[in-house]
Amino acid sequence: MAKISWPFTGRILIVFFIILAVAGCARQMAYRFADTYLAWQARSFVSLDSEQRGALRGNIDTLLQWHAEHEMPRYHALIGELTEDLEKQNLNTERLSYYEQQMADYWLAIRQSALSPAQSLLPRLSDEQADELIVSIAGNIQERADQYKEQTTAERRDESAESIAEQVERWFGEITDEQQQIIKTWTQQMPDMTQLWIEYRVRWAEGLSEALNQRHDSEQLAALLELLFLQPEQLRSEELNELGEQSQALSRQALLELTDKLTTEQREHAIEKLNGWRTDLASMMRSRSVEI
């Protein structure tokens, strides 16, 4: 489970921790077995029979092939742009907003591509399986809620600062005391949205429960899944959406400060990492017969 308590932070962090969305099945070897990984993840929420597992694998393979053909080339190109911006020290508010929007577009495309498999697979579930899925998701939410109750706001902020510092060091190498202070100030200023986010996840789970109840009505199912997959912000409270925007603005400013303080060695380290990702993306595409 992610340590960072403020979900919207991820939209900004992805600018530098680029393509980490792919990291659930990332790097060359792992991507070749991503279908197995994703199927295993699905089965961790609900028990499937052999026919359902076969259908799931088929849908996942189609999704991964689409991803390799249509999305990975876009990632490859965007990393090239980011590398050039780092080399030329050209990262500013406008460029960060551009990368943020690109990643939002990529994430939307993935969610859109998941709609068809969901519409195909959910009607195959029995009543017992539908109940099992809801119980599993509810348990996941409760686990996060319990963790939230066990921590103070200060503890969550410290944990977030530590997690962000680890990610920054992964991409830029050892950070300076000044950069560490930027991260600390950043996380101290961030609004704690954990409770609001948990409440949103509960509403999302309730929406999924309704979709499962309507899974044999194709029109109702399609409408509910479109809301859950493509318009989830409608299920968030106005306060959560407002704090999310505030969080994004703070994150953008902190990243500008961090990149402004990069040493030559850190910049070179990041460029080397990004070039490595481009190489790996090309290899992952070739594993699915896609040439860049």
The residue extents of the domains of the chain are 9-286
- The whole-number pLDDT of residue 172 equals 92
Q: What is the chain's mean pLDDT, rounded?
A: 84
pLDDT exceeds 70 at position 6: no
The token duo for 80 is 């090239």
- The whole-number pLDDT of residue 110 equals 86
pLDDT exceeds 80 at position 287: yes
pLDDT exceeds 50 at position 259: yes
For the ranges 34-43, 49-58, 234-243, the lowest mean pLDDT is seen at 34-43
Cβ-count burial 126-161 (b if 16+ within 10 Å, e if not): eeebbeebbeebeeeeeebbeeeeeeeeeebbeebb
Q: What is the pLDDT of residues 201-234, one digit of tens each?
A: 999 999 999 999 999 999 999 999 999 999 998 9
Q: What is the pLDDT of residues 176-186, one digit of tens each?
A: 999 999 999 99
Q: How far apart are CA 175 and CA 254, in angstroms?
A: 14
Phi, psi (rounded to 5 degrees) for 289: 60, 35
